[in-house]
Structure 1
Amino acid sequence: MNIKTIGSICSGIEAASVAWEPLGLEFKWLSEIADFPSKLLNIKYPNIINLGDMNDIPMKIKSGEIDAPDFICGGTPCQAFSLAGWRNGLNDDRGNLTLKFVDILNSSDSIRLNQGKNRSIMFWENVEGVLADKTNAFGCFISSIAGLDNVLERKKWPNSGLLRGPLRNVAWRVLDAKYFGVPQQRKRLYVLAGDKNFNPENVLFELHLKEKLAEFPKFDLSFKKDGYQFEVFREYTDCLYSAYGTKWNGNAAAYNGSLFVVQNNKIRRLSPLECERLMGFPDNYTDLKGATRTNRYQAVGNSWAVPVIQWIGKRLINQKAEFQINSDSLVLFTRIQECENGSIFFDFGRDLVDIGEGIVINCTAIPEECTFNSLQSIIDTNPPKEIYISPVGCAGILRRKNERNLKINERLENILINISSQMSDDEIEKKSRIQKRGRFDNIETSNKIDQIKNVLQESDKKEQDFTALSNKPIIIQENQNIVNILSDIENQLLKTQSELDKLNELFNKLMNESKKIK
């Protein structure tokens, strides 16, 4: 493919540039609005303009202010489509950026077609949860990209597929990063589309020539590195997530141990450097002056797995017509759906697919040629001391495990017990009462209530003084309403975890009442 120029949307910290610049591709513009990623782009890529808000890009392309590039890549905010984002999809404002992505692509194509060029090649990355989005966000997206007049409807989209539409051909495949050289289970959806003379299936799908696909190998879970003794709890980690810097002790990874490391008998979280390595970035890529660990965790967790992106880039540049998918093949009869205007949708599931004439294509999450690395390869032997987990923190993980009746890695549980036993139960309870807790934690909530009460008492006193001076009636019912709500909250604090939703509703009422007296 003759691809030379790229425009990047929702750029983040530019995994695309890390992956594709070494292949000789030139980035013409970036688009990112978040503060820390924007700062990183300014430092790492000072000669490439950051356009900021992607909503302005269509106008800038049409006016000639920026190039209509050969290749447009992006990943509209994945929170709108993942479980972490409550599956809001296109009902969420962020979901509308998906449609803006389509608008950008169409604007670029209008310029390119007038110049006698092919349409821009499009690349889009997202979480696989978008395939089951209740709003059919993915169906809306690929139907728009393909140029259909009506949206294709499915309750759940396959992990791999092909849509040949009136305007563009669109292919997609879920791939798992742990088969590409980083020991992290990170399944992501990759979508590729282009003009009618472009066959994205020859990039994303592969000829299957082996007897069977590879399995992730066994590695030693206990090892030495640079004189330190280490232990991990699995050969690869769970998927890194953007909130890992602040919410690391209450999710599945906290109980299977995959995002923890034991170093010289002390347990800790992964360091920002280790997270960079798990995503395939150069060491200290996000270590900017003034950057917090939270900045770095969030930026890396929101990014793309570089080795997967580079694999796709290499296949795109060196595209070969290794196979041809024919809609009249009898073996594909059950996988084909005919759509409007001669369009055809192929459902390839997550399978090795027989497409006829003895040809099988790989549409699974595992590539034909895998690269494997152990967690030892990403270990940072000099991590920040702040990421070690204290006896109080270990006790907290065990407490939540027992309260919620959760399963836990047996070896991890023993280590947590050993570390938490370094302090007495009374010491742990005393320490836990002064440590910052979660949003709905009873102790933190009680402190907030005390603060609000003090403010209200002072407010009432001022209102009474004012009334005495002016001899005018002042309605202070708003404050009484807040007091009543506070009493309700205090009652709720005595109840179990299952009552926290009610507590949240009461806090919302409290905030609404507070606004009335400002």
Structure 2
Amino acid sequence: MNFGSVCSGIEAASLAFNPLNIEATWFSEIEDFPSKVLKHHYSSIPNLGDMNDLPELILNESIEAPDILCGGTPCQAFSLAGWQQGLIDSRGQLTLKFIEVADAIDKMRIKNKKQPSIILWENVEGVLRDKTNAFGIFIAGLSGLGEEIKIKRWSTSGVLFGPKRNIAWRVLDAKYFGLPQQRRRLFVIATPKNINPEKIIFEQLMENYETFSNLEKLYKNKNTLDKNLFTQPESLKNERVRHFNDHKIEIFREYTDCLYSAYGTKWNGNAAAYNGSLYISQNDKIRRLTPIECERLMGFPDNYTLLDKATDTARFKAIGNSWAIPVVQWIAKQIQHYKKLNKSVTWIDGLLPYEETDLYKLYLFPKDIIKTTKGENINVSPASNNIKLGNIFDIVHLSAPDKFYISAKASHGILRRKTTRNINMNPSLEELFMKNCIAVF
């Protein structure tokens, strides 16, 4: 199989897909630094630049119509009706263009007597709560509907059977795929009408159903994993300090907050400055994560973004904007595994749709487990059946340059904001900040 990638960034998709013999046929990225990363690692794969040019290139057969289309477009306010009339709202232009790319690919694949493509789209979980109903517009357009689907509240998983494509979506958290990072992202799978996408993005539960019936308890525990629900490495059980040769490493939580693109410049003004999840203490001195540690936190190889003259800020931004590689690779494996399943029967036969018209059926799943009419238990939670928990000590890079350590002045500023704004702070972190800023007083 092969794939085309839009909004390619630094190509987490390639690192996830290539080990499974799914290789890129083209990229589409316009940002300068990510484009340099692509050229460095994938010099034989063309970067086509602006994705707005892709439909014409595909229809002219200048580029291949791949088996899989993947991307994570900005999903802001836009109008499906405006798109159909050729009046694209600039804020949602790329998301609507993504639909055009998908349609062009399928048109050419059908012309060449090939199966229409499988589509993978990623976005932040917040798009489900967008006040402009961006998600309802997007999946309506992707499924072949001419009008948006309006509902009061989108669930974190669901299925839409539309006139052109079937669509299933699920929020997945990298924290349960072997990375010590809480990173919840929405993944959408769209397929031809003869494929049931819920069998790709959801999972059938067997003997471990009782474990998953308690998932809600796990998610409600924000600061520490429930030790009674899942087996985890001994190193994660109440351990906050480790010694590596002459280095004392202290962590403040078992997993980090979501790594964000502005981490390189705004590390001291958000929740991470108070809960300590994006800090490490090395020999009792607090420091930020290094670019290598951020690469490890996303599943990238060490120094993947280390190019000649690359700035730390550019590396942080590119890494934070990318995908968690183990999650995407799990989805790729699910796509391959689908070939072995009974494709003629959907798992949700007999379930009552949330909404049904002559053109579509919509199913919303507000709970972590679907119980089908046949007595099957289907996992639609943010965790896969085989939960893997990462160890934050494994991402530590002991040779951190001095520039990543928090100065006394910065420590004082963080503590001052904590006091004036009455913000709670991790006690161990606060104690170290106090020691660190004594020189200011």
Please give the TM-score of this superposition, normalised by the length of structure 2: 0.89
Alignment partner of 2:94 out of 81, 94, 97 = 97
Residue in structure 1 matched with residue 194 of structure 2 by the alignment = 197
How far is the alpha carbon of 1:91 from its aligned partner? Answer: 9.9
How far is the alpha carbon of 1:339 from its aligned partner? Answer: 2.6
Residue type at the aligned position of 2:248: Q
- In structure 2, C-alpha distance between the alignment counterparts of 1:181 and 1:116, rounded to whole Å: 40
Residue in structure 2 matched with residue 212 of structure 1 by the alignment = 211
1:31 matches 2:28: yes
- In structure 2, C-alpha distance between the alignment counterparts of 1:143 and 1:65, rounded to whole Å: 29
Residue in structure 2 matched with residue 352 of structure 1 by the alignment = 369
Please give the TM-score of this superposition, normalised by the length of structure 1: 0.76
Q: Deviations over 1:162-217 (max 9, x none)?
A: 00111110000000001101100000000001100111111110112211137544
Show the 5 A alignment for 1:448-463. none
- In structure 2, C-alpha distance between the alignment counterparts of 1:228 and 1:252, rounded to whole Å: 27
After TM superposition, the structure 1 stretch with the greater mean CA deviation from structure 2, 224-233 or 385-394, is 224-233
How far is the alpha carbon of 1:150 from its aligned partner? Answer: 2.0
Secondary structure, counterpart of 2:263 in structure 1: helix
After TM superposition, the structure 1 stretch with the greater mean CA deviation from structure 2, 149-158 or 51-60, is 149-158
> 2:348·2:372 contact (CA, 8 Å) conserved in 1?
no
> 2:129·2:154 contact (CA, 8 Å) conserved in 1?
yes
Alignment partner of 1:336 out of 354, 358, 369 = 354
Residue in structure 2 matched with residue 228 of structure 1 by the alignment = 247
Alignment partner of 2:341 out of 313, 321, 325 = 321
Cα pair distance change 1:117/1:268, threshold 3 Å: same
Show the 5 A alignment for 1:85-164. 93-164=90-161
Q: Deviations over 1:397-436 (max 9, x none)?
A: 0011112111111111111111111x142xxxxxxxxxxx
Alignment partner of 1:279 out of 298, 304, 328 = 298
- In structure 1, C-alpha distance between the alignment counterparts of 2:342 and 2:365, rounded to whole Å: 17
Residue in structure 2 matched with residue 391 of structure 1 by the alignment = 408
Q: Deviations over 1:7-63 (max 9, x none)?
A: 000000000000001110121100000000000101100000000000000010011
Q: Deviations over 1:303-356 (max 9, x none)?
A: 000000000001101214369446662xx33x5310332x21111124201111
Q: Deviations over 1:443-496 (max 9, x none)?
A: xxxxxxxxxxxxxxxxxxxxxxxxxxxxxxxxxxxxxxxxxxxxxxxxxxxxxx
Residue in structure 1 matched with residue 392 of structure 2 by the alignment = 375
- In structure 1, C-alpha distance between the alignment counterparts of 2:342 and 2:113, rounded to whole Å: 28
Cα pair distance change 1:110/1:424, threshold 3 Å: closer
Whose RCO is larger (CA < 8 A, sep 6+)?
2
How far is the alpha carbon of 1:156 from its aligned partner? Answer: 2.4
1:244 matches 2:266: no
1:404 matches 2:401: no
How far is the alpha carbon of 1:92 from its aligned partner? Answer: 7.0
How far is the alpha carbon of 1:380 from its aligned partner? Answer: 0.5
1:6 matches 2:3: yes
Alignment partner of 2:307 out of 267, 281, 288 = 288
> 1:261·1:270 contact (CA, 8 Å) conserved in 2?
yes
Cα pair distance change 1:424/1:108, threshold 3 Å: closer
Residue in structure 2 matched with residue 483 of structure 1 by the alignment = none
Secondary structure, counterpart of 1:28 in structure 2: strand
- In structure 2, C-alpha distance between the alignment counterparts of 1:34 and 1:424, rounded to whole Å: 41
1:22 matches 2:19: yes
> 2:3·2:23 contact (CA, 8 Å) conserved in 1?
yes
Residue type at the aligned position of 1:316: I
- In structure 2, C-alpha distance between the alignment counterparts of 1:288 and 1:340, rounded to whole Å: 54
Residue in structure 2 matched with residue 437 of structure 1 by the alignment = none
Residue in structure 2 matched with residue 481 of structure 1 by the alignment = none
Cα pair distance change 1:270/1:416, threshold 3 Å: same
Q: Which has the higher helix share?
A: 1
- In structure 1, C-alpha distance between the alignment counterparts of 2:74 and 2:382, rounded to whole Å: 22
How far is the alpha carbon of 1:112 from its aligned partner? Answer: 1.0
Secondary structure, counterpart of 1:340 in structure 2: coil
Residue in structure 1 matched with residue 285 of structure 2 by the alignment = 266
- In structure 2, C-alpha distance between the alignment counterparts of 1:199 and 1:262, rounded to whole Å: 48
* Over 6 Å off, 4+ runs: none
How far is the alpha carbon of 1:370 from its aligned partner? Answer: 1.0
> 2:160·2:166 contact (CA, 8 Å) conserved in 1?
yes
Q: Which has the larger radius of gyration?
A: 1
> 1:175·1:187 contact (CA, 8 Å) conserved in 2?
yes
Cα pair distance change 1:58/1:369, threshold 3 Å: same
Residue type at the aligned position of 2:157: S
Q: Deviations over 1:286-317 (max 9, x none)?
A: 01111011011000000000000000001101
Residue in structure 2 matched with residue 65 of structure 1 by the alignment = 62
Aligned length: 408
- In structure 2, C-alpha distance between the alignment counterparts of 1:92 and 1:411, rounded to whole Å: 48
Secondary structure, counterpart of 2:378 in structure 1: strand
Secondary structure, counterpart of 1:29 in structure 2: strand
Secondary structure, counterpart of 2:409 in structure 1: helix
Show the 5 A alignment for 1:431-470. none
How far is the alpha carbon of 1:283 from its aligned partner? Answer: 0.8
- In structure 1, C-alpha distance between the alignment counterparts of 2:411 and 2:8, rounded to whole Å: 37
Residue in structure 2 matched with residue 415 of structure 1 by the alignment = 432
Unaligned runs of 5+ in 1: 82-89, 426-518
Percent identity over paired residues? 50
Secondary structure, counterpart of 2:372 in structure 1: strand
- In structure 1, C-alpha distance between the alignment counterparts of 2:197 and 2:27, rounded to whole Å: 24
Unaligned runs of 5+ in 2: 78-86, 219-224, 226-231
> 1:136·1:155 contact (CA, 8 Å) conserved in 2?
no
Cα pair distance change 1:416/1:236, threshold 3 Å: same
- In structure 1, C-alpha distance between the alignment counterparts of 2:294 and 2:349, rounded to whole Å: 47
Residue in structure 1 matched with residue 37 of structure 2 by the alignment = 40
After TM superposition, the structure 1 stretch with the greater mean CA deviation from structure 2, 176-185 or 110-119, is 110-119
Residue in structure 2 matched with residue 50 of structure 1 by the alignment = 47
Residue type at the aligned position of 1:120: S
- In structure 2, C-alpha distance between the alignment counterparts of 1:273 and 1:264, rounded to whole Å: 19
> 2:199·2:347 contact (CA, 8 Å) conserved in 1?
no
Residue type at the aligned position of 1:283: D
